[in-house]
Structure 1
Amino acid sequence: MARDDIKDIQVFLAVARERSFTRAAAKLGMTQSALSHAIRTLESRLGVRVLTRTTRSVSPTEAGERLLHNVGPRLDEIEAEIAAISDMGDNPAGTVRITAIEHVVDHVVWPRIAPLLRQYPDLNIEIGSEYRMVDIAAERYDIGIRYGDLIEQDMVAVRLTPGEPMMIVGSPAYFEWHSKPASLQDLMKHNCITLRLATSGGLYAWELQHQGQPLETKVRGQAVFTSSYAILSAALSGAGLAFLPESLAGTHVREGRLLSVMPAWCPPFPALYAYYTSRRHTSRAVQVVIDALRLRV
């Protein structure tokens, strides 16, 4: 197979997996016109169309599906073997792609892996801050980071943190006009700042507890966000009560900008884990990053 064939197939695989020329172009570092040219060249060479394009979507044709599912994994294996050969050198090299929630990147991931970039100049790190559940195999991430109860059983998982303490918090300004809640009935009367889930589109139910029993609570309020940082900012401005991890809200509570209420109703979240697919080969670069991330007891 000619080298140009392989390049064009890799472009097709990126577009087919992303279902978008825009996202594929960003991922590959190419212009959309260059991607379109590569796809047209591939289709001309094969004599069949591999993508169906509309004004709103891109999807593989029957021939494209065959290319995606039969040829794609084989090219992935070749890339893995090439990475394995590269790992025989003294230093880890290549790009490690990680997906994690925004505040987890700031408080856990980046502080632990930043020193690696100074230590290994041939190592590159790409981090996607996403709240939705990501299929790391389909979206070509090397490592995912999520709470332990969200990880599929067929993944290799490495623990990063103890359980994450949670807090219900509000600003002193908010409590000048509202009494502090002491029960679930009290809480339901408050203006609560809520999170829109990226995967399902629904509103996140606060994961509380009562007398040791889990209790999913659907609170209500005027403000809805898709980011924990936005929720924190809204709480600090006095917009209402927020349910946040201690790593985000704790400093503000200790310094008096937020007040914590109903602590007995807030169980800790499960521990954070880094997870990756149980493929035959995991590159040395990925192994180095995993080792830097893991919990040190």
Structure 2
Amino acid sequence: MAKRNLNDLLYFAHVARAKSFTRAAAQLGLTQSALSQAMSNLEEHLGIRLLTRTTRSVSTTPAGERLLESIGTRLDEMEMALDALTEMRDKPAGTVRITCGGGVVNEILLPKLEKLLKEYPDIKVEFDINYGFRDIVADRFDAGIRLGDTIDKDMIAVPIGPKMRMAAVASPEYFAKNGKPQTLEHLAEHNCINMRFPTHDSLYVWEFDRDGKEYNVRVDGQLTFNTTTAMIDAAKRGLGIAFVPQGEIRAELDSGELVAVLEEWCDPFDGYYLYYPSRRQPSPAFSLIRDALKIHYE
């Protein structure tokens, strides 16, 4: 392969893994048109089609899949070697990509990273706010953040937050008009605000815990969202009961803008973990971020 095509191979790997010219162009800092032209040039040079393009998605052809399998590991190894060179700098540098939900950013990540980012101006952090379960290896993230019981066993998981509690909440006006549910069964009589995760076809089943026992409740209502921020806003408007992490609504609970019910059914559970592949050597920048985030037990 001529040297002039090495960049094109890198671009191809990003497109094939992202399955999108838009996402790959954003990752590479290129325009979509430039990236598309590079892929056309590569296919013309090889004399074979590597990508199947539609108006909504991009997929690899059999030849493209074979090429990705051949070069993917080598490109990863090259990037790891380049990351390792930052150890020779006076201060660590580089971009760390993390996928996570929205609430954890303001509640845990930014408060813990504020001091580090000011001390190391050459470290950049890119947050992918996503409520689906992203494949951090395939999507080329350095790490992800999830609750502990949802992390694959082959990942290294580091606790970064305290125990959590869920809260069933609504506005005082909603409860004044509809009454408060006294048991889990009473939720069937209420307008509940549902959550649908991007990677799931079904609605989220509300998970309650009491005295070590789990209770799953399917609820119904007029509204369904895929972010807790929208659910909280709808609850504040009196549009129903939302079931969200208590940490995301502390201010609303303290001010009385939202009222919690069924609290005896919401026992604490293990909180958020930072997780990353066990086979990949962390860069100095990532190691600093990991150490800043993790809980230090006395």
Question: Under a length normalisation based on structure 1, what TM-score does the superposition of the two structures give?
Answer: 0.96
Give the aligned partner of residue 154 of structure 2.
154
The aligned residue for residue 126 of structure 1 is 126
SS at match of 2:141: coil
* SS of residue paired to 2:12: helix
Please state how far the C-alpha of 1:115 moved relative to its aligned partner: 2.3
Find runs of 4+ consecutive structure 1 residues off by over 6 angstroms.
none
What's 1:236 paired with?
236
Deviations 1:140-193 (A, max 9, x none): 100100000110000011101122111111111111111111112212111111
Aligned to 2:18: 18
Aligned to 2:145: 145
- Matching of residue 62 in structure 1 with residue 62 in structure 2: yes
Residue of structure 2 in register with 1:36 after alignment: 36
Q: TM-score, normalised by structure 2?
A: 0.95
Report deviation, 1:243.
0.9
Taking only aligned residues, the RMSD between alpha carbons, in angstroms, comes to 1.4
Aligned residues: 297
Checking the alignment, whether the CA contact within 8 Å between 2:95 and 2:123 is kept in structure 1 is: yes
Letter in 2 for 1:208: F
Query: Structure 2 matches for 1:1-297, cutoff 5 A?
Result: 2-210=2-210, 212-297=212-297
SS in structure 1 of the partner of residue 88 of structure 2: coil
Whole-angstrom distance in 1 between the partners of 2:240 and 2:282: 46
Partner of 1:214, secondary structure, is strand
8 Å Cα contact 2:211-2:267 kept in structure 1: no
Q: CA deviation at 1:51?
A: 1.1
In structure 1, the gaps of 5 or more residues are none
Q: Is the 8 A contact 2:184 2:262 kept in 1?
A: no
Aligned partners of 1:206 and 1:219 also within 8 Å? yes
Q: Percent identity?
A: 46
- Contact 2:21-2:35 within 8 A present in 1 as well: yes
- Return the alpha-carbon distance in structure 2 between the equivalents of residues 4 and 92 of structure 1: 31
**Which residue identity is paired with 2:283?**
S
Kept in 2: contact 1:147–1:269 (CA 8 A): no
C-alpha displacement of 1:2: 4.7
Partner Cα separation in structure 2 for residue 2 and residue 93 of structure 1:
31
Long gaps (5+) in structure 2: none
Name the amino acid aligned to 1:109: L
